[in-house]
Amino acid sequence: MKDCIERVKPYLQQVVKPQRYLGGELNEIKKDWDSVQCRFLFGFPDVYDVGMSHLGLQILYEAVNRRPGLLMERTFSPWLDMEAIMISQGIPLYALESGRPAGDFDCIGFTLQHEMSYTNVLQMLKLAGIPYWAKDRSDRDPLIIAGGPCVANVEPLAPFLDAVVVGEGEELLPELLEVIGRHKAERRGAVDKPRLLEELAALEGIYIPTLKGPVIKKARLKDLDEAIFSLTPLVPYIEVVHDRMMVEVLRGCTRGCRFCQAGMIYRPVRERSKETLLAQARALRDNTGHNEIALTSLSSSDHTCIKEIVEGLTAEFNKEMISISLPSLRANHFSVSLAEEIQKVRRTGFTFAPEAGSQRMRDVINKGVTEEALLATVTKAVSAGWQQIKLYFMIGLPGETMEDVEAIAGLCEKVVYAGTKVMKEQGRKGSLRVTCAVSNFVPKAQTPFQWVGQASQEELKARQRRLKELIKDRRITYNYHDAFTSMLEAIFARGGRELAPVLAAAVEKGCHFDSWTEELRRDSWRQAFEELGMDMEALATRNFDLNSPLPWDHLNYGVSKGFLMYEYNRAQGEMISGDCRYQGCNGCGVCSFTVGDAEENSARGRRKIGENILYGEAVDQ
Amino acid sequence: MKIRICYGKTETGSYLSHLDLARTMERSLRRAKAPLAFSEGFNPHPKLSFASALAVGTTGCREYLDVDLASRLNVKAFSQALEKALPPALAFVAAEEIRENSKSLSAIINLAVYRVRVAVKPEDEDKVIPGVEKVLAASELWRKPKEKPGKKTIPAKEVRGLIRQIAVIQGPEAAAKTYELEMVLGLSTDGQLRPQELWEMIAAAGDFEAAPPLAVCRRALLIEQGGKRFAPMEGVRD
């Protein structure tokens, strides 16, 4: 039977959240299989509820399906209960729209959001009955491709992939699929894979792991305002991680935090205009019925017209009881005013990311936030009524000492005291609650810290323990990340193709859903590395020589290696670098990336500075 | 203004939990531009009150929901808008204005009509009707206590009074050996009997093995009053 949805139905009473496996949501697109030239299956290597919160999926669903010759359907990792049923009943991985087996599609594309999802990619191919090594696949198997932020260093997965989308996919992916469709049409439905891969390699932004060639320049949108955006996104029935409408207010960030991969690979900064955003928000409200809208980006309060956008949205949406959320706010007064404006419907906690406890360390990572600014922001937020603050930190940063770690506890205490003082003054009961969330630094490709090894497991655990000893205040909740998971992330974030056999071995030992802590099979991972003669700790902690080639040198995200080195050196000198939107150009190279853009970007830059002066506070340096 | 909506839950919808249903309905009402009234407080939510929840896996032909509105609307235009706005999991049946002081659906609905499709082994084919007859002839029937790990055990309960009618509508079909049973079951705040449980009782009485039903559909929710039965929408016009 072709329709796998019919085949899983008898077992739905035995699994949690059966709706994950049925599709049929509002705004689902079901296209006629035979009316298109290329059928694409988007694979999200995690469960439905995680994948359906991903904005990229919604954008690509629109970008591909709006083309008459193409079709896109969705598939997610089945959770372990359903996976066991599918294996025992011989039901392959299938698409939610048509119920067809994944193997029926011309192309399957996986999004690589984080390293811990890699095993799920392989596991999904296994469930589909498709060989995961690219060399083992025939011309009749679907073409397996990938995209997303982890492509910044895709080498550990390269031997499993036929083609890789480098950079922004909403224009490039449909183009790639059109090439596949034409290729098949010319050959009456057949595929000549070596020829097809050569044809794909001609597209800018497509990396073919089996072809040696010049450096691949990332694909990028020139104008976010005119970019494809889905105004009729899929609306899940079950609760998903982020159950809300999303508008993307801007893309890219030039704050220049030295650990941040997104801040490097999504440059330059491109804004969507207020008019477009408001029109999109209205359409989303009418087409989804969600009661919350999120203004997403790497740093939404950096939009030059954010105040007007927020005012425009609140004026229309507050009376309809639609709340507005602004993730990733910077610690400044302006953020508190924005938050006050938007949280009239439902009030949530306030979250900031100082990332490091000491000023010295914040200078090393170029996080342009001072303790004074943070405390002033907290004071303002608490006087505006908030009583919960969440602070994000990292430990194991390059050059970090135990004193720097201890400063995290100190800063949290200062925040508690400052906030509680305000509450007392206002005659409010209780005290400020602070959550101190500490993650472990993972060096990432295409960042100024790409050459630096991760702190050893022993060091990370010692620093975690030290914080636990120091944070005794009951008003502070301390939580921290699993050091083993961070080590795996570090290994894959900077590893080469030699890691592919490790991934395969781990999957064969049952590893997948590694980001679900209770499913992480530490012993199987250790065995997989040992059997291949690799030392996990050594891989994670190794420093790369500044002059030696890196596994990702052949991918060009626009930010030059020279700039990354320059920033690395400045980090060692504890020197901060300004944001080029408000201060001088740092020469990252992205503006001269495409001929003709430099002038346009500098013109945009001037306009932005002008608008920022209008609101004064937007510049928080 | 208060409005009563009658809707169906399709096969896709049968796997929605009650919370999923509430969320899906709120979004549909928003898309239909219903002027929802909201509760006061920290986390305002619309005032929706549903009739008794359906078990996961059960479809429903005529389910009910009352909604508080902040302003008046044209019921006909709203009905058309809601019909368009409902996702594939739900189907629009009807909408009517109700009095502000109407009693809640859960207070008035006291009967549920189910259709249950079941399969039996060929050798048990002749045991279904005697099983039904024995259940109907019994003066009392006890439901076994329900034990769930980590949860409080639900004690055994006498449920004969909840069984109003059982009719064999169809079957057995020659090839598939399936029966279709119609069950009319009492609903009260005190307790209810699930059609699956009644099927197990019929099997026990008929001395055969009960396989889980192939499909269960709640065909109607009714109000029984003075020996007469009404649909919740019929009471609206008095």
Burial per residue of A164-200, b for 16 or more beta-carbon CB atoms within 10 angstroms, e otherwise:
bbbbbbbbbbbbbbbbbbebbeeeeeebebeebbeeb
Residue B58: give the domain boundaries: 2-106
pLDDT for B174-223, tens place per residue?
666 788 999 999 987 777 899 999 999 999 999 999 989 999 999 999 99
Which amino acid is it at A30?
A: K
Residue A284's region, left for phi above 0, alpha for psi from -120 to 50, else beta, is: alpha
How confident is residue B40, by pLDDT bands cut at 50, 70 and 90?
Answer: confident
CATH number, domain at B168?
3.30.70.100
Q: Select from B59, B83, B106 the last residue of a domain.
A: B106
Q: Is the pLDDT of residue A531 over 60?
A: yes
Average confidence score pLDDT of chain A: 92
Q: Which among A18, A235, A345 has CB closest to B27?
A: A235
Residue B142 and residue B40 in one domain: no
At residue B148, the pLDDT reads 76
Block residue for tokens 């702190």: A455
Answer yes or no: is A139 within a domain: yes
Residue B42 and residue B96 in one domain: yes
**Which residues make Cβ contacts (< 8 Å) with residue A490, sequence separation at least 6?**
A442, A443, A453, A454, A539, A540, A541
Instruction: State how far the Cα of A258 lies from the Cα of A250, in Å rounded to an integer.
Output: 20
Residue B34 and residue B102 in one domain: yes
Our CA-based measurement puts residue A388 at a distance from the nearest CA of chain B, in whole angstroms, of 15
Of the candidates A520, A539, A534, which has an alpha carbon nearest to the alpha carbon of residue A120? A520
Contact check, Cβ <8 Å, B57/A13: yes
Count CB atoms within 10 A of the CB of residue A424: 12
Higher pLDDT, residue A40 or B169: A40
Q: Select from B106, B129, B161 the last residue of a domain.
A: B106
- Give the three-state DSSP class for B169: strand
pLDDT for A234-258, tens place per residue?
999 999 999 999 999 999 999 999 9
**Which residues make Cβ contacts (< 8 Å) with residue B109, sequence separation at least 6?**
B51, B52, B64, B187, B221, B222, B223, B232
Closest chain A residue to the Cα of B38, Cα to Cα: A321
φ/ψ of A409, rounded to 5, equals -60, -45
Instruction: State how far the Cα of A291 lies from the Cα of A339, in Å rounded to an integer.
Output: 17
Residue B87 and residue B154 in one domain: no
How confident is residue A110, by pLDDT bands cut at 50, 70 and 90?
Answer: very high
Find out whether B163 and B141 touch, Cβ atoms under 8 Å: yes
Residue B92 and residue B129 in one domain: no
Of the candidates A35, A84, A25, A103, which has an alpha carbon nearest to the alpha carbon of residue A290? A25
How confident is residue B235, by pLDDT bands cut at 50, 70 and 90?
Answer: low
Residue A60: give the domain boundaries: 4-217
Answer yes or no: is B57 within a domain: yes
Answer yes or no: is A75 within a domain: yes
Residue B221 and residue B116 in one domain: yes
- Return contacts of A209-217, CB within 8 angstroms, 24+ apart: A209/A134, A209/A154, A209/A158, A209/A159, A209/A161, A209/A162, A209/A163, A209/A164, A210/A134, A210/A162, A215/A553, A215/A554, A215/A555, A215/A556, A216/A166, A216/A554, A216/A555, A216/A556, A217/A166, A217/A167, A217/A556, A217/A558, A217/A593
- Give the three-state DSSP class for A216: strand
- A107-111 and A38-44 strand pairing: parallel
At residue A17, the pLDDT reads 95
Q: Which among A25, A243, A347 has CB closest to B87?
A: A25
At residue A614, the pLDDT reads 29
How many domains, in total, are found in chain B? 2
Q: Compute the average pLDDT of residues A22-26.
A: 96
Cβ-in-10-Å burial (0-12, 13-18, 19+) of A20 comes to buried
Instruction: State how far the Cα of A397 lies from the Cα of B166, in Å rounded to an integer.
Output: 71
Sequence-ordered alpha helix ranges (H) in A222-332? 261-265, 274-288, 306-317
Find out whether A395 and A408 touch, Cβ atoms under 8 Å: yes
Q: How far is CA A571 from the centre of its chain?
A: 25
Contact check, Cβ <8 Å, B15/A288: no
Instruction: State how far the Cα of A444 lies from the Cα of B185, in Å rounded to an integer.
Output: 63
CB pairs under 8 A between A and B: 65
Answer yes or no: is A562 within a domain: no
Find out whether A368 and A579 touch, Cβ atoms under 8 Å: yes
Q: Select from B106, B133, B164 the last residue of a domain.
A: B106
Residue B22 and residue B94 in one domain: yes
Sign of CA dihedral A284, A289, A294, A296: negative
CB contacts of B31 in chain A (<8 Å) are 286-289
As given in the structure block, the two tokens for residue A96 are 């939610």
Count CB atoms within 10 A of the CB of residue A473: 16
Instruction: State how far the Cα of B45 lies from the Cα of A463, in Å rounded to an integer.
Output: 44
- ipTM entry: 0.90
How many domains, in total, are found in chain A? 1
Instruction: Check CB contact of A37 with chain B, cutoff 8 Å.
Output: no
- Give the three-state DSSP class for A573: coil
Residue B96 and residue B175 in one domain: no
Contact check, Cβ <8 Å, A286/B56: no
Our CA-based measurement puts residue A245 at a distance from the nearest CA of chain B, in whole angstroms, of 12
Instruction: State how far the Cα of A269 lies from the Cα of A254, in Å rounded to an integer.
Output: 7
Least confident of A172-181, A411-420, A593-602, B31-40: A593-602
Residue B16 and residue B58 in one domain: yes
Contact check, Cβ <8 Å, B16/A238: yes
At residue A2, the pLDDT reads 65
**Alpha carbon of A277 to those of A227, A248, A283: distances in Å?**
12, 8, 10
Instruction: State how far the Cα of B53 lies from the Cα of A198, in Å rounded to an integer.
Output: 57
Of the candidates A162, A134, A166, which has an alpha carbon nearest to the alpha carbon of residue A152? A166
Q: Which among B15, B16, B26 has CB closest to A291?
A: B26
Instruction: State how far the Cα of B108 lies from the Cα of B95, in Å rounded to an integer.
Output: 18
Answer yes or no: is B236 within a domain: no
- Give the three-state DSSP class for A335: helix
At residue B177, the pLDDT reads 77
Residue B38 and residue B132 in one domain: no
CATH number, domain at A121?
3.40.50.2300
pLDDT for B47-78, tens place per residue?
999 998 898 899 999 999 999 999 999 999 99
Find out whether A51 and A44 touch, Cβ atoms under 8 Å: yes
Residue B123 and residue B82 in one domain: no
Instruction: State how far the Cα of A603 lies from the Cα of A393, in Å rounded to an integer.
Output: 36
How confident is residue B173, by pLDDT bands cut at 50, 70 and 90?
Answer: low
Contact check, Cβ <8 Å, B57/A347: no
CATH number, domain at B17?
3.30.70.580
Interface of B with A (CB under 8 A): 12-13, 15-17, 19-20, 23-24, 26-31, 36, 38, 42-44, 46, 56-57, 85, 87-89, 212
Residue B226 and residue B115 in one domain: yes
Closest chain B residue to the Cα of A24, Cα to Cα: B88
CB contacts of A19 in chain B (<8 Å) are 15-16, 20
At residue A424, the pLDDT reads 94
Count CB atoms within 10 A of the CB of residue A35: 9
Of the candidates B50, B165, B75, B45, which has an alpha carbon nearest to the alpha carbon of residue B112? B165
